[in-house]
Amino acid sequence: MRGFVLSTARVRDEDLIVRILTKDEVLTLYRFYGARHSYINVGYHIDFVVEESAKATIKRLRNVIQLPFPFLLDFQKMLNFKIFVGLLNKHLSDVTKIDEFYYNLLVDITKNMQNREPKRLLIESYVKLLEKEGRLHKEFECFLCEREIEGKVALARAFLPAHERCIYEKGFAKEKIKDLFENKKTLLFSDEEIDRLWKIMNLGM
């Protein structure tokens, strides 16, 4: 079985509780510490075996093999990817069964990250997630006052469109947001604007 490590929590010295996103479910497994065990961390893509035990209430994580991707040793790209995975973990906190979309989204990110600026790729991936979940608002109506946004578009958490005056935030050119929402591209945005979009995304998925 293959999956992405969403989170790890240390218990009883070096043992771990590990949440793993697979193609169709989110697993919570127990991993015993051992000298021969490979190191695992948030964001790692792993191949593994799930072991059941009649004496335990939680299944065990066994035979872990890390599936490396090209940017694994690129500190900044790996850091941004781990932030994205951490946000996804919180977003899926109450989920067990899941659509294959989420696993495939992370696979696509790992395939493209080496040749892309990380924040731009992850923002584009986040917009794809919002669209998949039916939460991408393309009508440009302020979520607070419910009036049409004619000038610049400010974005709240989950990229909800709003008037600048309604949420007291600096907006973006409407054509840029429209291109992002429709084409899932960040080409029109400056690096400063990408940093602003990244901060909004980090408020929570």
pLDDT tens column, 78-125: 999 999 999 999 999 999 999 999 999 999 999 999 999 999 999 999
Max Cα–Cα distance, the chain, nearest Å:
62
Q: 192 and 100 in one domain?
A: no
Strand partners, 155: 161
Residues 120, 100 share a domain: no
- Whether residues 30 and 50 share a domain: the answer is yes
Residues 35-55: what's their mean pLDDT? 83
Give the end of a domain, one of 69, 89, 114. Answer: 114
- The residue from 81, 114, 147 where one domain ends is 114
Residue 175 or residue 58, greater confidence: 175
Helices (H), 18-151: 75-91, 100-112, 118-132
pLDDT score at 35: 45
Looking at the structure, do residues 104 and 136 belong to the same domain, yes or no?
no
The average pLDDT across 133-146 equals 95
Domain boundary among 114, 135, 162: 114
> pLDDT band at residue 36, thresholds of 50, 70 and 90?
low
Are 176 and 190 contained in the same domain? yes
Q: Which pLDDT belongs to residue 57?
A: 83
Whether residues 84 and 2 share a domain: the answer is yes
CB count within 10 Å of CB 154 equals 22
pLDDT at position 64: 92
Look at strands 45-51 and 26-31 and give their pairing. Answer: unpaired
Residues 128, 103 share a domain: no
Which pLDDT belongs to residue 113? Answer: 97
Could you tell me if 109 and 162 lie in one domain? Answer: no
Same domain, 155 and 62: no
pTM: 0.94
Q: How many domains does the chain have?
A: 2
Looking at the fold, whether 159 and 197 belong to one and the same domain comes out as yes
Residues 99 and 147 in one domain: no
Taking alpha carbons only, the member of 128, 176, 127 closest to residue 151 is 176
84 and 149 part of one domain: no
Q: Which domain holds residue 182?
A: 116-205
d(CA 50, CA 56): 13
Mean pLDDT over 192-199 rounds to: 98
Q: What DSSP line would sit under 134-174, residue for residue? A: T----S-B-TTT--B--S-BEEEGGGEEE-HHHHT---B-H
